[in-house]
Amino acid sequence: MKRTIFLAVLALLTGSAFQHTSRSVEKGYSEVNGIKMYYEIYGQGEPLVLIHGGGSTLETTFGRVIPMLARRYKVIAMDLQAHGRTSDRNAPESFTQDAEDVVTLLKNLHIAKADLFGFSNGGTTTVQIAIHHPEMVDKLILGSALCKRDGVPAPFWDFMKHAQLANMPRELKEAYLKVSGNPAGLQIMHDKDAARMVNFKDIPDEQIKSIKAPTLIIIGDRDVITSEHAIEMHRFITNSQLAIIPGVHGEYIGEITTLGTGSKEANFVIPMIEGFLDR
């Protein structure tokens, strides 16, 4: 149990490092609420926005599944504040600020409405977008999203209080440094991510219940997010579906700390997501 919690906590601070698809990609920076936000756009079709987890980059959370999703959708992914190639601001991170940053980026890209897929911390950000900017949302995919402090086992919070950069997996640190080349920024990102989790407060029930967009909730059966929490969110969000997939935090999209398992869950999870989006 302790090992599962530890691995899952590490995953909350990161995502997966995969090579991108060889398809054409638009890369750029956008001025967003005082930061320069890096983004990439793949494919054609209806817009699908990918929001990465804590400690991650757009590659490290979604690198494996971008090629799959870009076959059918216009995939828009970005690095959030202080992550990857995006600059920082002289302020703590917050899920509400990340939500505002994503919304501003979409407006800058002239995207009025989109499907959103957020993983881990990015899932919590996605919830904030759905609450505060419902007009921007078509459908939601919440991958291992946390909305309540009791949505994770109690040892998680003790771990976060004492989080150290040394505990961040080597692959994650290398992925950050590869795209940023900024060792000092790595420490800042880690510390801001940890502080945000330590200070995390429950999202009020009434706000979660206000979400009307069709929603697919996904977790692993050995996720850091408890099944009970996912079921509670499913009950709060009227127009929602729940999928509990075998595996640990992020294994269903090939998150980097799960690569050693040889998991092939993404091969059936992505068609499930496509079926949800296309209905």
CATH number at residue 222: 3.40.50.1820
The pLDDT value recorded for residue 50 is 98
Number of separate domains in the chain: 1
The pLDDT value recorded for residue 9 is 45
The pLDDT value recorded for residue 2 is 38
The pLDDT value recorded for residue 169 is 79
Residue 142 domain boundaries: 2-278
Q: What is the pTM of this model?
A: 0.91
What digits encode the pLDDT tens for the residues 42-86? 999 999 999 999 999 999 899 999 999 999 999 999 999 999 999
For the chain, which residues score pLDDT lower than 50? Answer: 1-22
Ordered DSSP codes for the chain: -HHHHHHHHHHHT-----PPPSS-EEEEEEEETTEEEEEEEESSSSEEEEE--TT--HHHHHTTTHHHHTTTSEEEEE--TTSTTS---SS---HHHHHHHHHHHHHHTT---EEEEEETHHHHHHHHHHHH-GGGEEEEEEES---SGGGS-THHHHHHHT--GGGS-HHHHHHHHHHH--HHHHHHHHHHHHHHHHT--PPPHHHHHT--S-EEEEEEEE-SS-HHHHHHHHHHSTTEEEEEEEEETTGGGT-GGGGGGT--THHHHHHHHHHHHH-
